[in-house]
Structure 1
Amino acid sequence: MQTRSLGLPDVRQARVAQRLAPHVASLNAWVDRLSAERWTPSFDPADGGVGARVLLLLESPGPTASVTGFVSLDNPNATAENLTCLLHLSGLPRKQIALWNAVPWQMSAGGVVAPVRAHHAEAAPLTRHVLSLLPELRAVVLVGRHAQVAWPHVGSSLPTFACPHPSPQNFHTRREEAGTALLALLDARRAARSG
């Protein structure tokens, strides 16, 4: 299982060339319009795009997103690597997922900046729009506390599953969190199959 591959310039260049592949074209065309106002990382063409059955709603783009240009399991950081490993263990195929951020615009290019409730409310219409672009969606995994706090602003009736943030610090200091995260992904996989 390859992780952190978007840290390699040739992989990143190939992924950029696939940004408007048919399954992600409508998503990334919309991201381009958003980015005219505030830079927002793209959907990863390695994921399921409009065919996704599970949305992994993350918190906000981390600093590596400004380097790679993607919300991606392949970003070169340990959080993305942990999430990739959890997905592998859950058996949830990558082609069935899409990744998005509860606050989608870049806030942390120079370091980690946590979103506040006003950001969650401001971003909720964007999340609702993402949901409308994913017609096969059957479940949402709320990855991290900020995504969980932001979700009520969205007002969706989709089944949701709370997942602890997969940062190394969180998993190292709270070892049970990895097991809780895996259970959330297993529940989401079951929901994806039932729809």
Structure 2
Amino acid sequence: METRALKSEAVRQARLGQVSAPHVEPLNRWVEEQSGEGRWLPYFDPADGGLSARVLLLLESPGPAVSRTRFASMDNPDGTAENLRCLLHLSGLRRADVALWNAVPWQMSEGGVVSPRPAQYAEAAPLTRQVLEQMPHLRVVVLVGRHAERAWPLVGSPLPTLACPHPSPQNFVSRREAAVRALGALVEARKMLSGQEKGATPLPEK
């Protein structure tokens, strides 16, 4: 399994050439419309499910690597993205079923990691709602990290959610159980999609 693929300039340029692929074109056109006035949003990764995604992995905010790659992607050249890519592989979730986004989606960490503030949760909530409206096949949202968990109630969506520890290397080293819990959340998301979880009830149609 390849990780940190967007470290390669050739891969990055090829991926940029796919931002208008049919399954991500409306999302990435929306990204471009929302960017401006001194801030910008990263593209949805064409390697993910895009409009067909059934699981949304909602992280906190774009990390420094995004300023180099221009993508919200688990192929970014940093430890968090690498951990997330490995967790997805181990969980059995198909990448075609998944999309990646951030609760506060604009880039503010080009010079180093900057954590979102509560006021920014409310500012970003309408953007998250607009993303959800463009993904008719979503069945579950995985809230990756405490900022995503805190921001989600402001979105006001009825979609089922699962809590997942943030997969940063620092978090996984300092809290050894975090990786196990993170993998468990993604496994549960896969089971919810397949209807194999014991006692699961059908998810409502959107």
User: Taking structure 2 as the reference length, what is the TM-score of the superposition?
Assistant: 0.93
- In structure 1, the residue matched to 2:19 is 19
Tell me, in whole angstroms, the C-alpha distance in 2 between the residues paired with 1:35 and 1:14.
Answer: 22
In structure 1, list runs of 5 or more residues that go unmatched. none
- Give the AA of the match of 1:32: E
TM-superposed deviation, 1:160: 0.3
TM-superposed deviation, 1:191: 1.9
- In structure 2, the residue matched to 1:153 is 154
- In structure 2, the residue matched to 1:126 is 127
TM-superposed deviation, 1:189: 1.1
- Give the AA of the match of 2:168: S
Percent of aligned positions that are identical:
67
Larger Rg: 2
1:101 maps to 2:124 = no
Moved more, 35-44 or 5-14: 35-44
Structure 1 segment 20-169 matched on structure 2, within 5 A: 20-37=20-37, 38-169=39-170
Structure number with higher helix proportion = 1
Tell me, in whole angstroms, the C-alpha distance in 1 between the residues paired with 2:60 and 2:193.
Answer: 22
TM-superposed deviation, 1:193: 2.6
TM-superposed deviation, 1:42: 0.4
- Give the AA of the match of 2:17: A
Tell me, in whole angstroms, the C-alpha distance in 1 between the residues paired with 2:18 and 2:141.
Answer: 25
Tell me, in whole angstroms, the C-alpha distance in 2 between the residues paired with 1:36 and 1:116.
Answer: 20
Matched position secondary structure for 2:23: coil
Aligned residue pairs: how many? 195
Give RMSD over aligned pairs. 0.8
In structure 2, list runs of 5 or more residues that go unmatched. 196-202
Tell me, in whole angstroms, the C-alpha distance in 2 between the residues paired with 1:193 and 1:121.
Answer: 33
Matched position secondary structure for 1:100: strand
1:186 maps to 2:194 = no
Moved more, 23-32 or 182-191: 182-191
Tell me, in whole angstroms, the C-alpha distance in 1 between the residues paired with 2:176 and 2:43.
Answer: 31
TM-superposed deviation, 1:34: 0.8
- Give the AA of the match of 1:22: P
Deviations 1:56-90 (A, max 9, x none): 00000000001000000100001100001100010
TM-superposed deviation, 1:127: 0.3
- Give the AA of the match of 1:97: V
User: Taking structure 1 as the reference length, what is the TM-score of the superposition?
Assistant: 0.98
